Structure 1
Amino acid sequence: MERGADGLDARLIDAVERLGDAGRAMLRDAAKREGLSVTQAQLLLRVTSPSAGPQSTGSFARWLEVSAPTVSDAAAALVRKGLLEAVPDVTETRRSAWVPTGPGREAAERLRGWRDPLAAGLSAASPEDRATALRVLLEAVASLHRTGRITVARTCLTCRFLRHEHPDGPAGEWCGLMAAPLGAADLRVDCPEHEPAHEPAQRP
């Protein structure tokens, strides 16, 4: 049996990998029920995320860690199915952005059911343990982002507004934008106000 910190790290990585495998399988099954590929389902879920808003092909590609042509093909298929539509972008740098249709939002809501078994499993842990797990996982995400292995990470731990203490308040992490304390349970995974603290390194 592996013992010590190294053995624990290996088992944590194995557990994350197992959860990832299970999550992909559950998402694949949910996508199949909607007549979608996994990439199409991921794109539809991302488009309908409250924190996403209208985004371009390139921004979706960076978030999903796939190529822009892959996103274009998935988006075109979703448009043909009546689940997405292209709208003029408000910026000058992009010609159009993708937004969901009414049926697209309904399909995305059904797709999100893939998470239910995982949520049921997490509910057995205490709120404190779940908050600690969130903090540990986001630390790993931040590390991968700093080294260029994750292109986009809109988390509190990668944001320039993160403060490690408030000048007029108690010690502890704060959001400088919201002027609010950040406990482990308050950390965001996908913040719409996120501004990166550092540019990620080039992918190795």
Structure 2
Amino acid sequence: MTEKSIFNPEQQQKDISSKIVAGLERISEVFKTLLWDKAKLVGLSPIQIQLLIFIAFHKPELCNVSHLAKEFNITKPTVSDAIKILDKKGMIIKDYSATDNRSYSIHLSQLGQEILSKTNDFANPLKNEIDGLGQSELDDVFKTLGELIYKLNRNGILTVQRTCYGCTFYQKNKNVDFCNLLDQELLVKDIRLDCPEFEIRQ
């Protein structure tokens, strides 16, 4: 079986899908390295930085321990521990529910916003390289990534996704992508991977 491993260079030479997976693994390593560099700079862990960034850009109902655990494919205790540290450092504010004092959504404090401004650009070196691609290449890569994310979610490998393909407002008319919420055709560049209006298709 080992000769057919995705990570065996000989297998990669015979199978383009294996090469692509190996390439994605390399890119994930770049992502982790860039995140660690920022983490060391501000004295936080990578997941703590990721939580701050997510909380800053998403609506309150997604910023609670249960959802954050699903979002990052980690356990609730792991999220709770990270939130405790961010709270102790004064980087977040807990907004407790009026009906359940155990339930709360999370917002960034002023200090949290300051740390965000120092860390949320951690992936810019990767973006700078992608910016160098031509428009047709960008469209092709993005279309493929969007479809892959949707399929991984459908197969249960990726827990959370908010892409158009899985949204109740999305419709495919022949070869045309269409959003019924916006009432407009979607070009490749219009497809979203993280839509604020996303509602899961039942």
- TM bucket (normalised to shorter chain) is 0.7 to 0.9
Counterpart amino acid of residue 111 in structure 2: P
Higher RCO (C-alpha under 8 Å, 6+ residues apart):
1
- Report the equivalent of 1:201: none
- Report the equivalent of 2:183: 179
How many residues of Structure 1 are paired with residues of Structure 2 in the alignment? 193
TM-score (norm 2): 0.87
Aligned-residue sequence identity (percent) comes to: 27
- Report the equivalent of 1:16: 24
Deviating above 6 A after TM superposition, structure 1's stretches of 4 or more consecutive aligned residues are 1-6, 90-94
Taking structure 1 as reference, are residues 80 and 126 closer, same or farther at Cα in structure 2, changes over 3 Å only? same
* Structure 2 unaligned residues grouped into runs of 5+: 1-8
- Report the equivalent of 2:155: 147
Taking structure 1 as reference, are residues 39 and 134 closer, same or farther at Cα in structure 2, changes over 3 Å only? same
Instruction: State whether residues 12 and 18 of structure 2, in contact with CA within 8 Å, keep that contact through their aligned partners in structure 1.
Output: no
> Is 1:194 matched with 2:198?
yes
- Report the equivalent of 2:86: 78
1:93 offset after TM fit, Å?
10
Aligned CA-pair RMSD: 2.4
Counterpart amino acid of residue 134 in structure 2: S
Instruction: State whether residues 131 and 184 of structure 1, in contact with CA within 8 Å, keep that contact through their aligned partners in structure 2.
Output: yes
Taking structure 1 as reference, are residues 118 and 4 closer, same or farther at Cα in structure 2, changes over 3 Å only? closer
Taking structure 1 as reference, are residues 75 and 130 closer, same or farther at Cα in structure 2, changes over 3 Å only? same
Instruction: State whether residues 12 and 19 of structure 2, in contact with CA within 8 Å, keep that contact through their aligned partners in structure 1.
Output: no
TM-score (norm 1): 0.86
1:6 offset after TM fit, Å?
6.8
